[in-house]
Structures are given as structure tokens and as C-alpha cells.
């Protein structure tokens, strides 16, 4: 792919703040972004330009009918000074899965990878080397055709932006969240867009999220609308831990996002031979059985898996009838902590990672 460079002589933002304070999550930007346009059935004009506004016609399809998709991944600075992208091929594949789900054009995975590596090379000084920090990578695509008919757009923009990010929990991995189990709201239904990372899924989750907040809960655990099986959290897959230390993740169906973190945990368990012994499996989990097993002490820990926090432990669940169900002693459990420590250290190169999971950002030219 031919990438045109239009780089700033003088950066609009200085480099990373020199501070020992953790960086905020999702707030900071770097100086440049990658852009590419889809016109007449082909991707054209790949370029890296200063981070800034993007002009859109008011009739652009994305603004009216939500034809927008995105991804989230992380690059880490290792002790050798190099920057490494974690399992980004999985994000490239999933972006194309989301594109197919929303009748958008795919971006060849090799082009997504090349564009991201090139942007990361240019912005390498923005990758923090503080503990639990990363350069968050946010690729996204949106529909640009100025047309009010409800149909797939003829034009699109694909963009990659970067955000230097600190730990998701600035206070450390210590606060277990309280989750609301709701039957009032549903994130996605079979046959819909649940397996896609599309804007509409997140817009649709805001109302439930606000409802949870009012009830004193950090997030929502969604159930399958028909079967009352556990689906996922608004921005994470769900897991629980059985008393023998096995992590159990709801079986993927056509309304759950296939988390790269969940899949990595399952693959680590299958591979074995690591310094940390991980046991994990997937199965369909019925809410009533889940609650009975928590009460019987068969389920000792629970939480969420996702790129942003890696693991978010759950301390308690609230049901809509006001019943509160604590998990274990309501605090972060040893299995969740051990997995978190292994996974986070693997990403920064301090624990062995399976071959190919970390890709070095080479210096270009
Ligand atoms: C709905 C949803 N489920 C699960 C996840 C976790 O996926 P991943 O581990 O790929 O970040 C996310 C975040 O990306 C999400 O938004």
C-alpha cells in the first residue's frame, strides 16, 4: 500500500507528560492519524496526516443510520525499548467481520496492519513506558455518502487514531465492581449486530448503563432475551471461576462479541506449558443455575474480560428485585489476580507469550 505522509514540522502537542502520575484512559491524543477513503468500489488515498477534524456532509449516512464500526487494541513499550502490538491480526479480522455485518467494505487485513505499524512508528515517542500503560489503537470506519435513503453508503472513511493511556483503574487492580443483571434491557438479539463492534450497540447500551448507575452499579450484565442465559457486559465478556480455579466464559453465539481477551485466555489454557497453569472453557450459562452455584459456593470469583482493563473483577450482582448476590468475599479473588498479573506482564514482555502474539513495530526506512 502506498501511504502518503503529510507530517507536521512542529508537533501540535508536546510529547508525553513527564510525571509519575498515571495517564488518564482515552483522553490523550497523538499528533497524527491514518486516513483512507473508499470511492468507486476501492480504497484510495492512504495517508498519515495531522490529527484533526474530518469534514463530512450533513447527509452522511453514518450520522443518520449509524453505519460505523471500530476496534480497540494496544501497543506496549518493552524493556528493550521496542514497541509491540498485541494480537492485532485478531482486531483486523474482527473489523472485517463487523464490516460484513453492516454491509460495509472490508479493509484487507494486511493493509490495516501496515497502516497501523506505520502510524505507530511515526508516533513511537507517544508510547508510555510507565507501569500498566499502553498506546491504545483505535481503528474505525464510517459511511460518508450524502444520501438520506436507508441503504449501504457508497463512500467510507477508514481512520486510525492513537491514545496514550494509563491503567484503566488508576488506583490499581483492587476494586471489584457491582453488576446489575437486567431483564429490562437487552444489548443485542440473535440475528442482529451483537457480534459486530458497531456504534449502534454502544448507543443502545447507554440507557441501561445510566439505569445501572442510578441503582449503584458500575455496569450491566446482559442476558439472552429468550433463554435467560448470560451474554456479556456492555464493554466486556463475562467470566466466572469455579472452586477448582477453572474460568468459565459464556459460549459465543450470534449476539456476543468475540473478545480477543477471552479467546486469548482460552488459547492459553489449551496450550498449557506456561508458568501459570490456566484452566478455562466455554459453555452456555443459565442465570438461575449461575445464581444457585454462587450461593452454593461452587462459583468463587467472577468478572469481565476486555482489552481496556484486561480483567475487571466483579464483587457482587444486583437483581432488579433488589436482591444482592455477593461473589466470594466481595473482593478481588486470587485466580482473577493471578491471571491479570500473568496477562498484563505477558503484554509488556515480562512473561512468556505464545509465538506471534506480540509484533514489534519496526523502524521504517
Ligand atoms: C461488547 C464488548 N464485549 C467484549 C469486549 C472485549 O473484547 P476485547 O477483549 O477484544 O477487547 C468489548 C471490548 O472490546 C466489548 O465492547
User: pLDDT tens digits, residue range 128-179?
Assistant: 988 889 999 999 999 999 999 999 999 999 999 999 999 887 766 778 999 9
| Ligand 1 atom nearest to 201, measured from its CA | 1
Q: What is the pLDDT of residue 48?
A: 98
* Mean predicted lDDT score pLDDT of the chain: 95
Q: Is the pLDDT of residue 220 over 90?
A: yes
Q: What is the pLDDT of residue 172?
A: 67
Which segment of 6-15, 222-231, 352-361 scores lowest on mean pLDDT?
6-15
Using a cut of 0.95, tell me whether the model's pTM lies above it: yes
User: Which of 105-114, 217-226, 327-336 ranks highest by mean pLDDT?
Assistant: 105-114
CB count within 10 Å of CB 16 equals 18
Mean pLDDT within 206-229: 95
pLDDT in tens, 104-120: 999 999 999 999 999 99
d(CA 132, CA 128): 9
Ligand 1 centre to CA of 364 (Å) is 31
Q: What is the pLDDT of residue 255?
A: 96
Site to probe by mutation for ligand 1, drawn from 306, 308, 309, 311 as the one with most ligand atoms within 8 Å of Cβ, is 306
Q: What residues does each domain of the chain span?
A: 4-167, 177-347
- 181 in Cβ contact with 317 (< 8 Å): yes
pLDDT in tens, 275-328: 889 999 999 999 999 999 999 999 999 999 999 999 999 999 999 999 999 998
Looking at domain 177-347, does it have CATH number 3.20.10.10?
yes
The closest of 150, 152, 132 to 141, measured between CA atoms, is 152
Give residues (CB < 6 A) around ligand 1. Answer: 72, 232, 235-237, 257, 259-261, 305-307
Q: What is the pLDDT of residue 173?
A: 78
∠ at Cα 125 (122, 129), nearest 5°? 135
Site to probe by mutation for ligand 1, drawn from 202, 256, 259, 310 as the one with most ligand atoms within 8 Å of Cβ, is 259
Mean pLDDT within 245-254: 97
d(CA 343, CA 90): 17
Ligand 1 centre to CA of 195 (Å) is 10
Ligand 1 atom 6, closest CA:
306
Ligand 1 atom 1, closest CA:
235
Helix axes 260-271, 88-101, angle to 10 degrees: 130
Q: Please state which CATH number belongs to domain 4-167.
A: 3.30.470.10
Contacts 24+ apart (CB under 8 A), 170-176: 170/22, 173/311, 173/313, 173/332, 173/337, 173/340, 174/332, 175/315, 175/332, 176/303, 176/313, 176/314, 176/315, 176/316, 176/327, 176/330, 176/331, 176/332
- 84 in Cβ contact with 117 (< 8 Å): no
d(CA 201, CA 116): 25
Amino acid at each position: 500500500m502506498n501511504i502518503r505522509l503529510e507530517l507536521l514540522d512542529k508537533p501540535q502537542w508536546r510529547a508525553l507528560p513527564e510525571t509519575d502520575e498515571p495517564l488518564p484512559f482515552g483522553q490523550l491524543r497523538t499528533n497524527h492519524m491514518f486516513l483512507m477513503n473508499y470511492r468507486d468500489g476501492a480504497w484510495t488515498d492512504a495517508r498519515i496526516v495531522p490529527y484533526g477534524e474530518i469534514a463530512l456532509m450533513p447527509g452522511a449516512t453514518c450520522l443518520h443510520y449509524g453505519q460505523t464500526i471500530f476496534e480497540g487494541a494496544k501497543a506496549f513499550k518493552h524493556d528493550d525499548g521496542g514497541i509491540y502490538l498485541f494480537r492485532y491480526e485478531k482486531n483486523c479480522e474482527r473489523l472485517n467481520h463487523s464490516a460484513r455485518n453492516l454491509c460495509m467494505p472490508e479493509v484487507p487485513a494486511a493493509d490495516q496492519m501496515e497502516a497501523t505499524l506505520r502510524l505507530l512508528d511515526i508516533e513511537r515517542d507517544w508510547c508510555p513506558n510507565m507501569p500498566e500503560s499502553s498506546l491504545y489503537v483505535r481503528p474505525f470506519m464510517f459511511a460518508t455518502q450524502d444520501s438520506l435513503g436507508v441503504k449501504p453508503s457508497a463512500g467510507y472513511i477508514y481512520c486510525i487514531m492513537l491514545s496514550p493511556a494509563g491503567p484503566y483503574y488508576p488506583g490499581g487492580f483492587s476494586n471489584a465492581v457491582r453488576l446489575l443483571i437486567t431483564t429490562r434491557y437487552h444489548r443485542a438479539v440473535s440475528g442482529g449486530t451483537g457480534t459486530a463492534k458497531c456504534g449502534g450497540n454502544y448507543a443502545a447500551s447507554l440507557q441501561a448503563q445510566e439505569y445501572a448507575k442510578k441503582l449503584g452499579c458500575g455496569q450491566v450484565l446482559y442476558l439472552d432475551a429468550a433463554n435467560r442465559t448470560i451474554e456479556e457486559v456492555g464493554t466486556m465478556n463475562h467470566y466466572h471461576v469455579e472452586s477448582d480455579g477453572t474460568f468459565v466464559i459464556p459460549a459465543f453465539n450470534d449476539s456476543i462479541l468475540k473478545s480477543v481477551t477471552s479467546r486469548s485466555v482460552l488459547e492459553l489454557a489449551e496450550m498449557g506449558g506456561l508458568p501459570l497453569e490456566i484452566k478455562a472453557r466455554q459453555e452456555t450459562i443459565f442465570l438461575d443455575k449461575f445464581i444457585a452455584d454462587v450461593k452454593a459456593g461452587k462459583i468463587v470469583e467472577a468478572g469481565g474480560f476486555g482489552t481496556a482493563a484486561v480483567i475487571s473483577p466483579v464483587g457482587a450482582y444486583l437483581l432488579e428485585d433488589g436482591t444482592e448476590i455477593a461473589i466470594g468475599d466481595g473482593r478481588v479473588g486470587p485466580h482473577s489476580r493471578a491471571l491479570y498479573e500473568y496477562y498484563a506482564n505477558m503484554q509488556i514482555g515480562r512473561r512468556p507469550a505464545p509465538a506471534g502474539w506480540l509484533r514489534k513495530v519496526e523502524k521504517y526506512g
